[in-house]
Amino acid sequence: MRKFPLLAVSLLASSVSAVQILPIKDHGFSEVIISSTEHTRISVENDRIAQLFGIDGRLSFELDEMNGQVFITPAPGTEGHSLLITLTTEKGLTHDLRVKPITRPAEAVLLRPKTQGFQERVSPLGTYQGLLLELIKVYATDTLKEPYKAVTLQKSSSEQIEPDLTLQPVKEILSPQFVGRVLRLKNEGDTTLLLSPHQFAKFKPLSIVFSTRVLKPLAQTEVLLILQGVDHE
């Protein structure tokens, strides 16, 4: 079993759009980073947002009643501040969100009730998203089973992807549909770095799994990139 939790998963529709998937529970509390300059879409998996509370002049919102989601936009000058909102859903879930606007491209936020987390059954497994999540579960639990295989990348070299950020491929988890590439990241600088999907855009990942989004000076972490599969025969 891995010693760290998976804090965020980004399922990418393309190299420039992403969804943060955050586990939540009824009457719980979560923190999320949003764009300070663009609209952020928030939705709840298999549920619909009914009401939003706590919005003041620093946040504007638009409720999409047709799809049960909400779009929020921070006011100028709120960057770096923490803003608290509470949402309720049609199925009766209540959850507090502390949102922190920063300068970054917008990522949609998908809230997943706890009973649908990685430790629970993923359904339907035959769907594209279900297959992605099954591979993520194999990585998260560090448990290999057929048809998954692991290949250690012993001679891989480090690569600098930003001035203070280096990566080194560690291993690959192979499935019939995808390749899960595990990267070790290190902050070589003296300032804290924020990890974001755009830093890995050149790899064209279908999905990204972060164990943390904040990397302190000289700290290391792992990131899982799920890539389109190839013929492993």
Question: Residue 56, Cβ neighbours under 10 Å: how many?
Answer: 10
217 lies in the same domain as 179: yes
Tokens of 36: 């300070």
Decide: residue 193, CB within 10 A, 0-12 exposed, 13-18 middle, 19+ buried: buried
Helix ranges, 142-200 (H): none
Q: What is the pTM of this model?
A: 0.54
57 lies in the same domain as 110: yes
Q: Residue 226: what residue type? A: I
107 lies in the same domain as 35: yes
Q: How confident is the model at residue 166 (pLDDT cuts 50, 70, 90)?
A: very high
Q: Which helix (H) or strand (E) holds 98?
A: strand 94-102
Domain boundary (101, 116, 131) is at 116
What pairing do the DSSP bridges indicate for beta strands 165-174 and 178-187?
antiparallel
CATH at 170: 2.60.40
36 lies in the same domain as 112: yes
111 lies in the same domain as 168: no
In total, the chain counts a number of residues equal to: 233
Is the pLDDT at 52 greater than 90? The verdict is: no
Question: Residue 222, Cβ neighbours under 10 Å: how many?
Answer: 17
pLDDT tens digit sequence for 29-47: 888 888 888 889 899 988 8
Which of the pair, 152 or 156, is modelled with greater confidence? 152
In a domain, 81, yes or no: yes
CATH at 22: 2.60.40.1550
186 lies in the same domain as 100: no
In a domain, 63, yes or no: yes
Which of the pair, 198 or 231, is modelled with greater confidence? 198
In a domain, 121, yes or no: no
In a domain, 185, yes or no: yes
183 lies in the same domain as 92: no
89 lies in the same domain as 188: no
In a domain, 223, yes or no: yes
In a domain, 34, yes or no: yes
Q: Residue 109: what residue type? A: V
Domains of the chain: total: 2
Bridge partners, 28 (sequence order): 95
Is the pLDDT at 16 greater than 80? The verdict is: no
CA-closest candidate to residue 204, choices 75, 38, 14 = 14
In a domain, 136, yes or no: no
161 lies in the same domain as 100: no
Tokens of 57: 């002049």
What is 46-96 written as a DSSP string?
A: TS-EEEEE---TTEEEEEETTTTEEEEEEPTT-TT--EEEEEEETTS-EEE
**The pLDDT value given to residue 62:** 85
13 lies in the same domain as 106: yes
In a domain, 139, yes or no: no
Q: What is the CA radius of gyration of the chain?
A: 18
pLDDT tens digit sequence for 97-147: 988 999 888 888 889 887 644 444 444 444 666 777 788 888 888 888 888
86 lies in the same domain as 35: yes
| C-alpha 6, offset from chain centre | 9
15 lies in the same domain as 91: yes
- The domain of 39 spans 8-116
